[in-house]
Amino acid sequence: MSLEVVIKQKLFGRKPMPLEVILGEDLYYGNYENDHLSVGEMGEDEILVYNPNRIGRGFSIVWTPEEKKAVTLRLLQPTTTRELQDFYAAVERMAKHWEGSSLEVEGQKQSLEVFLDSYQEMMEFNLKALKDFAGQVLDGTYNTLSLYAAKWPMSMGQEEATLFLHNPHLFEEWLHEKQSLDACYESPQFFNLDNQLVGMFFLSDWTSLIYPDVPTVPPGVLDPRTGKRLQCDKWQVTMIIGSESEVLGQLEYSDFLRLLPAEKKSKYDGGHFLLAQLTAEEIRAMASHI
């Protein structure tokens, strides 16, 4: 679920919407692509903005530097208290920059004043949405819930759902803590090898890495031949010594999990683990089992 606000500039005397007005003093931006955010990059007509001091789920801005007619803001829910504040502040800042602009909230015309007055009601709705999500995990409707967040997807499992149901304020702390880690989220790439479709992850000695407990094709990745969700025949991990640009070969994903140094692996969220940065020697030891 999401909240959508469209700001439309009046017909005469139109001017662009500068990036600095969108961001204000606190927000950063990036382009969300291939399941992670490239900070400081722009999409063709959309950016994702977030607060680096309290990283949440981010909210998108449909916009280009030349746009003078309308800008659309979309906020995923449930979100965090700080992000809801940032969203409302961005709408107010942008609407006032386009003096005399009009608003559409969920497709309905609304004055800026009425929208700003809805903040407390939206906070209550947001809290209910979080508890509903947590409840769906705890009652078995979902084993885990995947949530798009500002930097990369996050997974709410049983442990997280129990925590948020009883302490919803910890949702904000959890999102910020996990996304502030000095780590790289590993998304699979897909290759047709020997008439099999292989989902490929990569392992290097460059940094700490985040991997799925069970690899799956990300939502929205379609098979160009059928138009349906892509189906992988197998999953592998390519091992690389980054300092030497040396490719050591591939492991089956199950073997990769089995051979990981146990002391370097820890829980990240309901569907992922964190692998602390490996040394070249540790990666070579794993590659010796190929």
HEC profile for 84-124? Answer: HHHHHHHHHHHHHHCCCCEEEECCEEECHHHHHHCHHHHHH
In this structure, are 45 and 158 located in the same domain? yes
Residue where a domain terminates, one of 160, 180, 200: 180
Q: pTM for the complete prediction? A: 0.90
Domain check: are 62 and 94 in the same one? yes
Which band of pLDDT confidence, cut at 50, 70 and 90, is reported for residue 226? confident
What is the average pLDDT score of the chain?
93
pLDDT at position 33 is 84
Assess whether 45 and 126 both reside in one domain. Answer: yes
Of 124, 157, 180, the residue at which a domain comes to its end is 180
Do both 176 and 131 map to the same domain? yes
Q: pLDDT tens across 92-125, in order?
A: 999 999 998 999 999 999 999 999 999 999 999 9
Residue 135 and residue 33 share a domain: yes
Same domain, yes or no, for 209 and 242? yes
First to last CA, the chain: 45
Determine whether 130 is exposed, middle or buried from the number of CB atoms within 10 Å of its CB (0-12, 13-18, 19+): buried
Q: Mind listing the pLDDT tens digit for each residue in 237-252?
A: 999 998 668 999 999 9
Q: Quick one: 173 and 226 in the same domain? A: no
Number of domains in the chain: 2
Distances from the Cα of 226 to the Cα of 15, 117, 218, angstroms: 44, 47, 17
Place of tokens 């995923």: 76
Q: What single letter denotes the amino acid at residue 16?
A: P
Same domain for 127 and 16: yes
Say if residue 200 is in the same domain as residue 278: yes
- Distance (Å, rounded) from C-alpha 109 to C-alpha 248? 59
Same domain, 42 and 74: yes
Domain range holding 210?
183-287
- Shared domain for 103 and 217, answered yes or no, is no
Residue 77: Cβ within 10 Å count: 17
Of 149, 180, 211, the position where a domain reaches its end is: 180
What percent of the chain is modeled with pLDDT above 90?
A: 83
pLDDT tens digits for range 142-200: 999 999 999 999 999 999 999 999 999 999 999 999 999 999 999 999 988 888 889 99
| Same domain? 98 vs 158 | yes
